[in-house]
Amino acid sequence: MASSSQLLTTFLLLTTISLFSPSQSATCTSQTFTGNRLYTFCNDLPSLNSYLHWAYDSAQSTLSIAFVAAPPQPDGWVSWAINPTATGMAGSQALIAFRDSKGGMTVKTYNISSYGPLTESKVWYEVKQSSAEFSGGVIRLFATIVLPEKGRTTVNQVWQVGPSVTGGVPDKHDFLPENLNARGSLDLLRGQSTAGAGGNSRTKKRNLGIMFPVGIIIARYLRTFPSADPAWFYLHVFCQVSAYAIGVAGWGTGLKLGSQSKGVTYSNHRNIGIALFALATVQIFALLLRPKKDHKYRFYWNIYHHGFGYMIVILGIINVFKGFDILKPEAKWRNAYIVVIAVLGGIALLLEAITWVVVLRRKKSSESTKPYDGFNNGHSRQERLAP
């Protein structure tokens, strides 16, 4: 029995680690460009399914970039920008690529001072060369620029995509979380980029929507095996507290994004998020209110703890799908989450069957070893035994 519980513990632990590891596919490394263009570094940017390739000559303060992204519509636009004074869109110095009136691709520069209509203008850096290509629904923006501040090796980058162009002027982009999170910092020499506020929202949502179910599976099934005590308890606490911490961070990010996108409201997603935050906060207090196993109130505590836990899992899964509807990511993300939840459900059903078998065998074993009370093979104490 001990060996089976140890194998089950190891299996769940490895499953937990594999599900929580934020898999980042380095798809930029497989991209190639016409004209034998080569770059020193590349990064998969954390939002809008975008990619950046670059090479930096520190002696000349020259930065060569290739920005790859798919516009929402074939007649849309893509943009990559540097913000020399802040981290957001306002103040950014942008390169925007789109199809001109003659059907060819063009790249223009814009000083983004506000969210109003754009006007082509000079920017903070010098543009030595720029061009763009469109194929397969993807725009590739190429440029070589000279940064005015020599020795500056880290810049604030902003990237964006838009659905349309009217009269040679890019129209307003969407204000979805993926659009608002399209910013971060770029280390030109180390080849590293970091996300702005909100980070990689897809990974956070996936982890949050998986950690709570895994924590419940650990608590429900590992505790059946005495040899798994107290390991199951600490694994359970780790999963639930980690999920709560990520959830609070996501909740705070949602509040910030909401304040930045006035007029854009997702009531159902927001209300479920508030309910989840309240339920999860009360659930965390269960650690402080947990009575001992033999306490008379332990039965009622179990009802409260289990009930809140299952409500959080159900609402959490629903809200993840609400988030998918809002972000509208590639179908692979929704499908991957469905597969993960289905796998966890299958594991839970399998472990449920195993647990019942173990419990029933244990019960049968305890009954078979129980001494008879005043009886001997069905005969009473006063009945004379045959000689």
Which residues fall in the annotated binding site for heme b? 236, 269, 305
Determine contact, residues 36/57, Cβ cutoff 8 Å.
Answer: no
- Distance CA(312)–CA(306), nearest Å, equals 10
- Distance CA(21)–CA(24), nearest Å, equals 9
> Residues at the annotated binding site?
236, 269, 305
Cα 120 to Cα 66, 96, 116, distances in angstroms: 21, 10, 13
Q: Which of 98, 172, 197 is nearest to 141 (CA)?
A: 98
Supply 142's token pair.
């190429």
Cα 293 to Cα 50, 143, 214, distances in angstroms: 53, 67, 23
Phi, then psi, of 374 in degrees rounded to 5: 85, 10
Dihedral sign (CA 170, 99, 160, 59): negative
Pairing type for strands 169-170 and 165-166 reads antiparallel
Residue in the structure block whose two tokens are 């899992």: 313
Residue in the structure block whose two tokens are 């397969």: 136
Residues 6+ apart with CB under 8 A from 211: 20, 239, 240, 242, 243, 246
Determine contact, residues 167/117, Cβ cutoff 8 Å.
Answer: no
Determine contact, residues 155/186, Cβ cutoff 8 Å.
Answer: yes
Supply 352's token pair.
């449920």
- Distance CA(116)–CA(113), nearest Å, equals 8
Q: Where are the alpha helices (DSSP H) in the chain?
A: 2-20, 177-180, 201-217, 231-260, 267-284, 286-289, 298-327, 331-368
- Distance CA(153)–CA(189), nearest Å, equals 6
Helix axes 231-260, 267-284, angle to 10 degrees: 150
